Amino acid sequence: MTHSGADPDGPAGRRAAAERAEAAAFRAELGLDHLIDVHTHFMPERVLTKVWAYFDTAGPLVGRSWPITYRTEEHRRLELLRGFGVRAFTAMLYPHRPAMARWLNDWAADFAARTPDCLHTATFFAEPSAPDDARRALEQGARVFKCHLQVGAFDPLDPVLDPVWGLLADTGTPVVTHCGSGPVPGPFTGPDRIGRLLDRHPRLRLVVAHLGMPEYTEFLALAERHPALLLDTTMAFTAFTEADAPFPRAALPRLAALGDRVLLGTDFPNIPYPYPEALRALERTGLGTDWLRAVCHDNAARLFGL
């Protein structure tokens, strides 16, 4: 299933209209005019093409068949996301090797400048230039960072990163971090290192991507211990994820109790199902409309001052 064409009367156009209607129905049930999605991917075209090719081959970091639903041009992806009622979103991008972060950050600055509803996003890699890269991105106006420990395969406790975490903590800049060991563990994924990082930088507004899957309960425990820690819902509770890394039902009350620190994320466009499935999956938690309203809009609006 792809959304390759923009013809409103073609099959892709009809599918998009049906998905828009479903997202609108979800919002209407919650009394929300809009959603805020803190985990969406926009990146330079040739990087995104490589990411898609990687998913196509179900490479070692993916581990299973992963058909990308929204493989289409950038302007069309923006149109789709806005059509779901998303009024603010990020441009999560990340380097898989050194000497790439600055170039990505320049692209992201340009993307944010031409995309007013994008929360200007930046990234870094564990390399000597990381503190300068982060400082430069903040000067360019970055409001949120992405850190990908699984793809980057670096240690969050690497001493070169200490000034980066310090800077992000001091400026209160959220950093969405893929630190869980899903879909496949990396050498530095998992809750232990993040726990030690937070002991060192307790005010860091680290956002645990994917609710920390599959180490859900370990990351919930970290969030309970560190009041600045947040979580994003990216791919959680969807049928796709539940088949592989189900959220433990017994932990739902703990997720409910953290309801002011959970943020909607989706991984759009790199998802193997339609966008409304991510929304309905959250509804299936049974955590109720107040929790959903906070997660799908209000928590992020407060965090980013929107």
Q: How many residues bind Zn ion (CB under 5 A)?
A: 1
How is the beta sheet containing 262-263 ordered, strand by strand?
121-123, 144-148, 175-178, 206-208, 230-232, 262-263
Tell me how far, at minimum, the Cβ of 7 lies from Zn ion, in Å. Answer: 29
Cβ nearer to Zn ion, comparing 12 with 42 = 42
Give the tokens for residue 222: 């970290």
Cβ nearer to Zn ion, comparing 180 with 190 = 180
Applying CB under 5 A, which part among 77-85, 93-101, 152-160, 266-274 lies near Zn ion?
A: 266-274
Tell me how far, at minimum, the Cβ of 9 lies from Zn ion, in Å. Answer: 33
Nearest-CA neighbor of 212 among 190, 185, 240, 229? 190
Tell me how far, at minimum, the Cβ of 234 lies from Zn ion, in Å. Answer: 6
Tell me how far, at minimum, the Cβ of 233 lies from Zn ion, in Å. Answer: 12
- Does 267 bind Zn ion (CB under 5 A)? Our answer is yes
Cβ nearer to Zn ion, comparing 41 with 143 = 41
Cβ nearer to Zn ion, comparing 131 with 277 = 277
Tell me how far, at minimum, the Cβ of 267 lies from Zn ion, in Å. Answer: 4
Query: What span, in angstroms and rounded, lies between the C-alpha atoms of 291 and 180?
Result: 23
Give the tokens for residue 200: 């060192």
Element (H, E) at 207: strand 206-208
- Does 232 bind Zn ion (CB under 5 A)? Our answer is no
Applying CB under 5 A, which part among 81-89, 107-115, 118-126, 263-271 lies near Zn ion?
A: 263-271
How is the beta sheet containing 35-37 ordered, strand by strand?
35-37, 86-90, 118-119
Applying CB under 5 A, which part among 15-23, 137-145, 218-226, 261-269 lies near Zn ion?
A: 261-269
Cβ nearer to Zn ion, comparing 177 with 299 = 177
What is the three-state SS of 97-152? CCCCHHHHHHHHHHHHHHCCCEECEEECCCCCCHHHHHHHHHHHCCCEEEEEHHHH
Cβ nearer to Zn ion, comparing 127 with 267 = 267
Query: What span, in angstroms and rounded, lies between the C-alpha atoms of 298 and 25?
Result: 18
Q: Which residues bind Zn ion (CB under 5 A)?
A: 267
